[in-house]
């Protein structure tokens, strides 16, 4: 096979990824440039591109870059990591960018979603949620996304819906329509239904069998965000979950 020309930008990106891989604690842009002997401006631009592609995550509070979900999936390096190790940088990013509470859920075999981690918004007044929170898998915004991925027949969906408790109950047909919407968009939305005065957005990541394994939620006071912003939050959650597709050998 004829040897092609080496692409400089790709070699630089690989050097940056290798350097970050040797430093799980994370590195700043300048430190990354120093360790790779690359131009700081070049390193910064490559890092921002890698962040956009989920190959690198950025901690806004620490100003550090770390290997992201996308790179872990490609490398199969997730096996020694916990759910929190993998998803916390994304929770921090979304909570920071949209000033909302973000939550990581793990789905269990007994049809429950268990809160594994949460990140609070960096605002003077902010929402919080109990660390021991445990809800039915089909409940809330993340539950609509869960039900959408499960693709239950109508009778099974109705049976799963029947025991759910809501602050503001809804007819089954409304819930079914919102599950279908979650299937189309890749994320579910709950406005004042599970908790009065609270809006949540949720998406799920599936394992190698195609079943929901973990869920991500963003939670905020109703009307604190515009419909456009809620859609952007949902798209950010869905993109993270797509990048995490197939990560199955991880635990809380």
- Domain architecture of the chain: domains with CATH: 8-67 (1.10.10.10), 78-243 (3.30.450.40)
87 within 8 A of 78, measured Cβ to Cβ: no
- Dihedrals phi, psi of 98, to nearest 5 degrees: -115, 5
Tokens 């539950």 belong to residue: 143
Q: What local confidence, expressed as pLDDT, does residue 80 receive?
A: 45
* Token digits of residue 96: 């920071």
Q: What is the pLDDT of residues 208-240, one digit of tens each?
A: 888 999 999 999 999 999 999 999 999 999 999
Confidence (pTM): 0.73
Q: What is the pLDDT of residues 177-198, one digit of tens each?
A: 999 999 999 999 999 999 999 9
């Amino acid at each position: 096979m004829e040897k092609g020309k080496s692409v400089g930008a790709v070699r630089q990106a690989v050097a940056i990824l290798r350097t970050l891989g040797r430093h799980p604690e994370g590195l700043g842009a300048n430190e990354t440039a120093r360790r790779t002997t690359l131009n700081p401006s070049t390193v910064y631009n490559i890092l921002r591109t890698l962040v956009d592609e989920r190959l690198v995550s950025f901690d806004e509070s620490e100003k550090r870059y770390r290997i992201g979900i996308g790179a872990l999936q490609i490398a199969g390096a997730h096996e020694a990591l916990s759910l929190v190790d993998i998803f916390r940088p994304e929770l921090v990013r979304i909570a920071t960018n949209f000033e909302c509470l973000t939550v990581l859920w793990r789905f269990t075999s007994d049809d429950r979603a268990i809160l594994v981690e949460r990140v609070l918004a960096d605002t003077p007044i902010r929402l919080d949620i109990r660390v021991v929170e445990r809800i039915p898998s089909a409940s809330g915004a993340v539950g609509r996304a869960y039900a959408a991925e499960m693709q239950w027949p109508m009778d099974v969906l109705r049976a799963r819906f029947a025991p759910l408790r809501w602050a503001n109950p809804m007819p089954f047909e409304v819930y079914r329509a919102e599950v279908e919407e979650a299937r189309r968009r890749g994320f579910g939305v709950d406005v004042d239904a599970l908790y009065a005065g609270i809006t949540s957005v949720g998406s799920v990541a599936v394992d190698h069998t195609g079943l929901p394994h973990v869920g991500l939620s963003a939670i905020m006071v109703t009307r604190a965000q515009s419909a456009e912003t809620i859609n952007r939050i949902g798209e950010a959650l869905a993109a993270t979950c797509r990048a995490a597709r197939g990560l199955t050998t991880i635990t809380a």
